[in-house]
Structure 1
Amino acid sequence: MSISNKSLDVLLAVGLLTSCVAFVSDSEYRAQAMKLMGADFKARGQAGLDRLNQDEANAACSRTPADGPLSKSASAAIEKANFARLKYPADGKLLGDWREGERIAQSGVGKQFNDDPSRPAGANCYACHQLAPKELSFGTIGPSLLGFGKLRGTSRAIQEYTFGKLYNPQAYTACSNMPRFGHNGILTEAQIKDLVALLLDPESPVNK
């Protein structure tokens, strides 16, 4: 079947138009997106424009998967840099009150523009994890933490790991979805201690 001159002209025109479309790189799209967010996002309450700023870890992680997965060396560099920023309690105590920890885990209050900044923030742990067996509403983005302390024990090394993981999870897993509660000032040192107790204390419902 032959193609008419008219059809051929149409095909050539489409080809020319396609070739004229400018190629926009991923970095250019990213720059445009950041510009749009900067213009659209307005500071309200405690939610300031500084929330648009990314540190090196966030910047690297937000480029995946567009740039492909992070290399082993890049992941190791992120973990090393964040591990160096871990801050453990000066008093050396890592376990708080598991009862307070359960309250913090249940609370999703804090850091939103309409939240009272004078009130302590929650961790909203149940949004991503299973913890106490009696709580039926929990998310599955993160692994189940049921029996966390029963399985791992309460050695000093486990206490330090648990505190560090809550303080800054990217010290252990680059590009973790988990908030950096201590590093970003979401939770206080005392609150993190209470969450460590929730996970490790033998009397905590997590370990019953």
Structure 2
Amino acid sequence: MNYIKPVTLSALALIASFSVYADDMQAKVQAYIKSGFHKGKNQDPKRLEQDETLKVCSETRGKVSGEQAKAIVEREKATIKYPANGILMGNWQKGKKAFTDGFAMRIGRYEPDAPDKVRGGNCYACHAADPKELAAGNLGTNLRGYGKIRGNTWDTVKYTYDKIYNAQSVIPCSNMPRLGHNGVLSPEQIADIVSFLVDPASPVNK
């Protein structure tokens, strides 16, 4: 049985060296990404640092245990902020603009954006919504007829608001950006987007 030991040790050494190599490569990748940031507004490389939720999702590749999923939902729900007036359905016309415009979670650029640039969700990058808007992505759920299908009950409105504000509070390890949590959209903008999706008068539901 002695001949097994060298093979076992070699395998362990290979695994260990690969782990060190992977860690070293990860560090180099992170350093390279950080080097792309420049001084200026919205150029903070701290955005590359993962919080507890993202670390868990990365380490498990999104396949979290029931206990981990529960912890994520509870932690992320606690971050949600609602409009000062308590109204979760705003103006659908404003919501259409916030849904369409902006750049969502873009990281870095060579020159700062103009002060009057709209800060919206760029939601069409992943979702279809208004049937007349053909330039829509399919990475996310097709939202055409959202309110017509789901109705405009309080449960639908609150679920929609929470999902947009912090998708992790609804679906652990969701690929959707935490648009309110990360300050991309204000609570008022999110309420407007909720209206754009739910209001029967919105083109989404025509």
Would you say same fold, with TM above 0.5? yes
**Which one of the candidate residues 171, 174, 185 is aligned to 2:172?**
174
The CA distance in 2 between the partners of 1:88 and 1:27, in whole Å, is 45
Amino acid in the other structure paired with 1:37:
Q
Gaps of 5+ in 1: 1-14
The CA distance in 2 between the partners of 1:56 and 1:117, in whole Å, is 33
Amino acid in the other structure paired with 2:179:
F
On the 8 A contact 1:182/1:188 being kept in 2, the answer is yes
**Which one of the candidate residues 55, 58, 61 is aligned to 2:57?**
61
On the 8 A contact 2:81/2:187 being kept in 1, the answer is no
On the 8 A contact 1:38/1:52 being kept in 2, the answer is no
On the 8 A contact 2:101/2:118 being kept in 1, the answer is no
Amino acid in the other structure paired with 2:99:
A
Q: Which residue of structure 1 lines up, in the alignment, with residue 125 of structure 2?
A: 127
The CA distance in 1 between the partners of 2:205 and 2:163, in whole Å, is 19
Superposition TM-score, scaled by structure 2 size: 0.81
The CA distance in 2 between the partners of 1:171 and 1:89, in whole Å, is 17
Bigger radius of gyration: 1
Give per-residue Cα distances to partners, 1:20-72, cap 9 Å, x unaligned: 6463465872464145413551332322111111111111111233xx82112
Q: Does 1:75 align with 2:73?
A: no
The two structures, once aligned, show a CA RMSD in angstroms of 2.5
Q: 1:39 to 1:99 in 2, by over 3 A?
A: same
Amino acid in the other structure paired with 1:54:
Q
Q: CA deviation at 1:174?
A: 0.6
List aligned pairs for 1:10-89, cutoff 5 A: 21=14, 23-24=16-17, 29-30=22-23, 32-34=25-27, 36-38=29-31, 40-42=33-35, 43-44=37-38, 45=40, 46-65=42-61, 69-89=63-83
The CA distance in 1 between the partners of 2:20 and 2:183, in whole Å, is 30
On the 8 A contact 2:119/2:185 being kept in 1, the answer is yes
The CA distance in 1 between the partners of 2:33 and 2:121, in whole Å, is 28
